[in-house]
Structure formats: structure tokens, C-alpha cells
Amino acid sequence: MAKKLYVGNLSYDTNETQIRELFAQVGEVESVALITDRDTGRPKGFGFVEMSTNEQAQEAIKRFNGHMIDGRNLTVNEARPREERSGGGFGGGYGGDRRGGNSGSRRYSR
């Protein structure tokens, strides 16, 4: 069964080919995904590598956690399950406009 690894502290210059070749030294690499910002397309400095077996993944952690590539010491460990995100992104209970009621301004009568 494939095992997913988190790979952090990547240089922005490191590419998927370099990571694939590095991890292939310990076994079959099923996938490499370096995470980029969805708005700018720039690298975020981390990614995920999926190894074919748990044994290969454990060997990759032992060999490459702290390994230097492009002037950075890698962080390699087992990837945690993705956390659920709440939808919407508006962060509060207010949706749409707030018509009616007091909008915060005071009216003074004469």
C-alpha cells in the first residue's frame, strides 16, 4: 500500500524532477506534488511524495529528513490526513447586505 510523505523546507528553486530522483534512491515513487499558490503560481516550499510501500517510506524518512538540497535541510515525515475546511470563507454569520435596522449612524431630529 502506498504511503504519503510530507516534504517541507524546500527551496523555491527545487522542482518535482529533483524530488522524484532523490526519493527514487530508496524505492518506487508513485507521485510527487509540489504545492503552489493558486493565485500566483509560486511555490509554497513544501510538497508530498507518495512511495509504493510503507517500508520504502520509512527508509525515505530516515535518509532524507535533514538532507540538504538546494541549500535547504529537508523536513520529511509521514503526511497527516487533510483537515476538513469549512466552506464559504466569509467567516461570520453575515451574508449579503444588511438592509433595515440601525446601520450605526445616528439621526438627530431638530
Tens place of pLDDT for every residue, the chain, 110 residues? 789 999 999 999 999 999 999 999 999 999 999 999 999 999 999 999 999 999 999 999 999 999 999 999 999 999 998 887 776 555 555 555 555 555 555 555 55
| Chain mean position to CA 63 | 22
Whether residue 33 lies inside any domain: the answer is: yes
76-91 core/surface letters (b: 16 or more CB in 10 A; e: else): beeeeeeeeeeeeeee
Measured CA to CA, the distance from residue 85 to residue 52 in angstroms comes to 28
Whether residue 41 lies inside any domain: the answer is: yes
CB-CB contact of 65 with 93 (8 Å) = no
5 closest CA partner among 72, 67, 80 = 80
Which domain CATH number covers 63? 3.30.70.330
- In which residue are the cell numbers 527545487 written? 14
Question: Domain limits at 19?
Answer: 3-78
pLDDT of residue 82: 80
Alpha-carbon distances of 6 from 23, 47, 64, 88, rounded to whole Å: 12, 6, 11, 27
Whether residue 19 lies inside any domain: the answer is: yes
The predicted model scores a pTM of: 0.74
What is the total count of domains within the chain? 1
Whether residue 107 lies inside any domain: the answer is: no
Whether residue 108 lies inside any domain: the answer is: no
Tell me which DSSP letter residue 107 carries: -
Whether residue 89 lies inside any domain: the answer is: no
